[in-house]
Structure 1
Amino acid sequence: MSVLMTMRVSGDPTAVEKFAADEGAMFREVVADATSRGLISHHFYGNERELLVVDEWPDEASFEAFFKHSGPQIEQIMTAAGVTTEPTVEYWRHLEVGDDVG
């Protein structure tokens, strides 16, 4: 069963959007690498002072292997986003309670 991985950091969502617009190829490279390691889905979210990454992976080990062996691009993205905290990574499993939508 797949897991959701959430990664939360303090940073500037506007800055990461601008960096993505300027460096779209880098983002595509990171996603291609992650996909080759099992990534199922990936989304960035932000509020005024935080970034939240929500990914779906086959299992925790797949994400951890990707993140451990990822190149300098993720660090460059975090720097450009003005990240000021260590990432908080959590894993979530789907609960079968009969109320899924979508």
Structure 2
Amino acid sequence: MSVIVSVKIFGDTNVFTRSLEERADEYREISGRGRAQGAIHHQFAVGDGFILVIDEWESAAAFEKFFSDPELNAFIGSVGGDPNAAPEITVGESIDSPDKF
């Protein structure tokens, strides 16, 4: 069964939002690496002083291996993530329900 992962990264959302266009090729490359390592779905959202990542992964271990990559963490810092604030990570087993859409 897959897992749903939410990652709340504190940082500068203006820098992050600009990077989505300015560094689009890097995001695509990272996305490809994620899919090769077990990512099923991926989406970003922004809030007041944070970036939210909502993913679905084949397993928590696959996500943990991907997210612990020092290169990825350096990239996060370079696109607005605050290197002094640890991300808030929540992982839960994906389940089906009658109201799922």
Q: Which runs of 5+ in 2 are unaligned?
A: none
Tell me how far 1:85 sits from its aligned partner.
Answer: 1.1
TM-score, length basis structure 1: 0.85
Aligned to 1:33: 33
Structure 1 residues 73-82 or 20-29, which shifts more? Answer: 73-82
Q: 1:48 to 1:24 in 2, by over 3 A?
A: same
Contact 1:6/1:52 (CA < 8 Å) preserved in 2?
A: yes
> Whole-Å Cα distance in 2 between the matches of residues 2 and 29 of structure 1?
23
Report % sequence identity: 25
> Whole-Å Cα distance in 2 between the matches of residues 74 and 38 of structure 1?
18
Aligned residues, how many?
100
Q: Deviations over 1:33-81 (max 9, x none)?
A: 000001001111111211111110011011011122x352442233321
Partner amino acid for 2:66? F
Superposition map of 1:1-102 within 5 A: 1-68=1-68, 70=69, 72-83=71-82, 84-100=84-100, 102=101
TM-score, length basis structure 2: 0.85
Please list every run of at least 4 consecutive aligned residues from structure 1 whose deviation after the TM superposition is greater than 6 angstroms.
Answer: none
Q: Which runs of 5+ in 1 are unaligned?
A: none
Q: 1:82 to 1:64 in 2, by over 3 A?
A: closer
The alignment's C-alpha RMSD in Å is 1.7
